[in-house]
């Protein structure tokens, strides 16, 4: 983990309420896709944890949905500096991917799949991607994934674009060696039930510090208590103990 | 003896800055960031007899200038602390550490304190009779003078190390509780633990915190904490450790003027993990600005107008 100041290079809307921010600064503490950063904002006491979408040398890209005061404030920024803690969380473990991993992202769970996808391609994996949204107007990052040259399946719940249905519907007809997923908890549960291989899930929880000190985001797993911010946010399929 | 040194219950601290229990784990997370030996000491995560998961999540709610937490004393239990956390801490912290202890019965407190008292690394026992987040224990011992005194006396019977009793602000008369602890043999008093608070999510109309209520901390509570430290320090003859919303070197000086011998920093660590280090670095400059030569000379130095 590192604390450093990042310059905002770009901040633009991708949909009605989803924004992409490109930052420049010391990214050396970021060691794996699936990690997150924790951003300090003026006038708000707690930092805002946001997943890493892309990384190119000293350029960090994050994608966030405007849901409250913090993300509203972020959406209004065009330049300036941000105090950011980087290199938080465990991130995805690429060593288990096998030859044909599938990446399953839903809504704001899509961004961390991007850097993961790039890293798996670097390892010469045959990557398939499923991106799930509610409706056509909420789709983002589809072209960016296609530009990486991977097989992309988009699903929308209302059928306004791509395959009608859920990510798990697209998964039915697929052969894969392993899976990686991030998205809302109902989707994660559905993926848990419908996948036939092992895989990794990224979880979201309300955090205090984001670096393991406050125990605000703990969860129970089959292998013991874990802090989502420290031993997570990525858990192995085999260790997940759903709360209900 | 440096300009910043203070004596807390017979143990010399290089400086009065102490990360507060529950915001500093068992030290390791911060030791990855800076040399934690720069601290006066730190108070480790509230430890109980048995391992505890704590409360359901969400456990955290943001507030103006602060946060509410309802962690509920998640900790690995005293045996694992002794077998794993303390040996690991030895690798990165070479000063006496403050052992924060909670319990659900007088016997619990005695059991956990006697085990930790026997550890060479432990300098002080900080007996938490003020956790607002657990039922049937914690704060219930700290809300009346007789039960606070009972815990204090029982722990004192088994402890060789100084016993500092950590008090709750969620009481009618904190001075009477502090005095009862002093009379029962406490070597020091620390205050304040968090203020009981609550937030409601307007969309769901439900409390933000799964446990409904939690402990409010952060800069917003500093004036309340300062007032209580002043009241207690003016009425007891044992050292007082002041805490509650401290976030800067100026806050440390102010707490000490109100009567604190040392100062704990809590919520601020969660926002700026380097804040205790920064406060320690800034203290000499702030002391110069206010004409303070030796920091210990200002303890209780508030002049009544």
**What residue spans define the domains of chain A?**
2-88, 94-202
Q: List CB contacts (< 8 A) between B66 and chain A.
A: 45
Average pLDDT, integer, range B191-218: 97
ipTM value for the complex: 0.93
Q: List the CATH code of the domain at A94-202.
A: 3.40.50.80
For residue B89, being part of any structural domain is answered with: yes
> What is the residue-averaged pLDDT of chain B?
96
For residue B191, being part of any structural domain is answered with: yes
Tens of pLDDT, residues B4-43: 999 999 999 999 999 999 999 999 999 999 999 999 999 9
For residue B205, being part of any structural domain is answered with: no
Sign of dihedral through CA atoms B136, B137, B141, B144? negative
Q: Does domain A2-88 have CATH number 2.140.10.10?
A: no
Number of structural domains chain B divides into: 1
Q: What is the distance of C-alpha B115 from the center of its chain?
A: 20
Is the separation of the CB atoms in B67 and A208 below 8 Å? yes
Confidence of residue B133 (pLDDT cuts 50, 70, 90): low
* pLDDT value of residue B134: 67
Is the pLDDT confidence value at A175 over 90?
yes
Average pLDDT, integer, range A198-215: 96
Q: How far apart are CA A121 and CA B296, in angstroms?
A: 61
Identify the helix (H) or strand (E) that includes residue B254.
helix B249-257
Q: Would the CB atoms of B60 and A208 count as touching at under 8 Å? A: yes
Global confidence as pTM: 0.95
Tens of pLDDT, residues B108-121: 999 999 999 999 99
Is the pLDDT confidence value at A194 over 80?
yes
Average pLDDT, integer, range B103-108: 93
* % of chain A with per-residue pLDDT over 70: 100
Position of tokens 């690798």?
Answer: B91
* pLDDT value of residue B174: 97
Asked if B200 is an interface residue toward chain A (Cβ–Cβ < 8 A), one would say no
Identify the helix (H) or strand (E) that includes residue B179.
helix B174-183
Q: How far apart are CA A152 and CA A149, in angstroms?
A: 9
Q: Would the CB atoms of A218 and B74 count as touching at under 8 Å? A: yes
* Pair of tokens at residue B121: 């690394």
Q: How far apart are CA B8 and CA B241, in angstroms?
A: 9
Q: How far apart are CA A209 and CA B267, in angstroms?
A: 9
Q: How far apart are CA A135 and CA A156, in angstroms?
A: 5
Q: How far apart are CA A191 and CA A176, in angstroms?
A: 13
> What is the residue-averaged pLDDT of chain A?
97
For residue B181, being part of any structural domain is answered with: yes
Tens of pLDDT, residues A83-122: 999 999 999 999 999 999 999 999 999 999 999 999 999 9
Residue A32: name the closest of A94, A74, A114, A76 by CA: A94
Q: Give how far Cα B81 sits from Cα of A30, A198, B48, B49, Å.
A: 30, 34, 10, 10
Q: Would the CB atoms of A212 and B58 count as touching at under 8 Å? A: no
* pLDDT value of residue B130: 83
**Pairing outcome for strands B195-197 and B214-217:** antiparallel
Average pLDDT, integer, range B73-100: 98
Residues spanned by the domain of B146: 6-57+69-198+216-298
For residue B64, being part of any structural domain is answered with: no
For residue B304, being part of any structural domain is answered with: no
Is the pLDDT confidence value at B138 over 90?
no
Among the partner residues A44, A214, A225, nearest to B69 by beta-carbon distance: A214
Residues ≥6 apart with Cβ < 8 Å to B61 = A206, B67, B68, B199, B208, B209, B214
Is the separation of the CB atoms in A63 and A19 below 8 Å? yes
Is the pLDDT confidence value at B132 over 90?
no
* % of chain B with per-residue pLDDT over 90: 94
Residue of B57, B203, B207, B266 to mutate, testing the A interface (most A Cβ within 10 Å of its Cβ): B57
Residues ≥6 apart with Cβ < 8 Å to A163 = A153, A154, A155, A156, A169, A170
* % of chain A with per-residue pLDDT over 90: 99
Is the pLDDT confidence value at B137 over 80?
no
The CATH number that applies at residue B145 is 3.20.20.70
Burial of residue B125, with CB atoms counted within 10 A of its CB: 0-12 exposed, 13-18 middle, 19 or more buried: buried
Is the pLDDT confidence value at B140 over 80?
no
Q: List CB contacts (< 8 A) between A213 and chain B.
A: 23-25, 29-30, 269-270, 273
Is the pLDDT confidence value at A55 over 90?
yes
For residue B305, being part of any structural domain is answered with: no
């Amino acid at each position: 983990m590192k604390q450093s100041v990042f310059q905002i290079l770009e901040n633009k809307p991708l949909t009605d309420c989803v924004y992409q921010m490109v930052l420049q600064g010391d990214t050396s503490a970021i060691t794996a896709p699936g990690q997150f950063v924790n951003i300090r904002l003026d006038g708000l006491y707690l930092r805002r944890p946001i997943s890493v979408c892309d990384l190119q040398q000293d350029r960090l890209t994050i994608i966030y949905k405007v849901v409250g005061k913090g993300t509203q404030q972020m959406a209004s920024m065009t330049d300036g500096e941000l105090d950011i803690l980087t290199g938080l969380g465990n991130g995805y473990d690429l060593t288990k991917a096998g030859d044909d991993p599938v990446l399953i992202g839903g809504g704001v769970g899509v961004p961390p799949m991007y850097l993961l996808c790039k890293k798996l391609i670097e390892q010469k994996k045959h990557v398939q991607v499923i991106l799930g949204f509610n409706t056509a107007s909420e789709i983002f990052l589809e072209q960016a994934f296609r530009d990486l040259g991977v097989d992309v399946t988009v699903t929308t719940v209302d059928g306004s674009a791509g395959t009608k249905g859920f990510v798990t519907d697209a998964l039915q007809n697929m052969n894969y060696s392993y899976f990686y997923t991030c998205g809302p908890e109902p989707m994660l549960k559905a993926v848990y039930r419908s996948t036939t291989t092992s895989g990794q899930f990224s979880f979201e929880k309300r955090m205090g510090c984001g670096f393991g000190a406050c125990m605000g985001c703990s969860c129970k797993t089959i292998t013991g208590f874990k802090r989502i911010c420290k031993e997570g946010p990525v858990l192995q399929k085999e260790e997940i103990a759903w709360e209900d | 003896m440096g300009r910043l040194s203070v004596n807390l219950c017979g143990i010399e601290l290089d400086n009065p800055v102490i990360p507060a229990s529950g915001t500093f784990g068992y030290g390791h997370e911060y030791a990855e960031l800076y040399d934690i030996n720069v601290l006066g000491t730190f108070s480790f995560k509230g430890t109980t007899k048995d391992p505890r998961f704590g409360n359901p999540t969400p456990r955290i709610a943001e507030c103006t200038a602060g946060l509410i937490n309802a962690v509920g004393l998640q900790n690995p239990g005293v045996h694992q602390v002794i077998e794993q956390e303390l040996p690991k801490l030895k690798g990165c912290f070479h000063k006496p550490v403050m052992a924060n202890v909670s319990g659900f019965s007088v016997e619990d407190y005695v059991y956990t304190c006697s085990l930790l008292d026997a550890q060479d690394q432990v300098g002080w026992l900080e007996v938490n009779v003020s956790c607002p987040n657990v039922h049937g224990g914690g704060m219930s011992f700290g809300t009346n003078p007789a039960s606070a005194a009972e815990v204090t006396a029982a722990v004192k019977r088994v402890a060789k190390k100084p016993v500092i009793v950590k008090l709750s602000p969620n009481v009618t008369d904190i001075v009477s509780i502090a005095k009862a602890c002093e009379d029962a043999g406490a070597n020091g008093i620390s205050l304040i633990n968090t203020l009981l608070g609550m937030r409601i999510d307007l969309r769901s109309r439900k409390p933000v915190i799964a446990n409904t209520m939690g402990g409010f901390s952060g800069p917003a509570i500093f004036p309340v904490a300062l007032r209580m430290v002043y009241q207690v320090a003016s009425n007891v003859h044992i050292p007082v450790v002041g805490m509650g919303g401290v976030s800067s070197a100026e806050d440390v000086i102010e707490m000490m003027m109100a009567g604190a011998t040392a100062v704990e920093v809590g919520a601020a660590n969660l926002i700026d993990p380097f804040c205790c280090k920064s406060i320690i670095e800034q203290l000499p400059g702030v002391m110069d600005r206010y004409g303070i030569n030796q920091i210990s000379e200002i303890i209780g130095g508030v002049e009544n107008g």
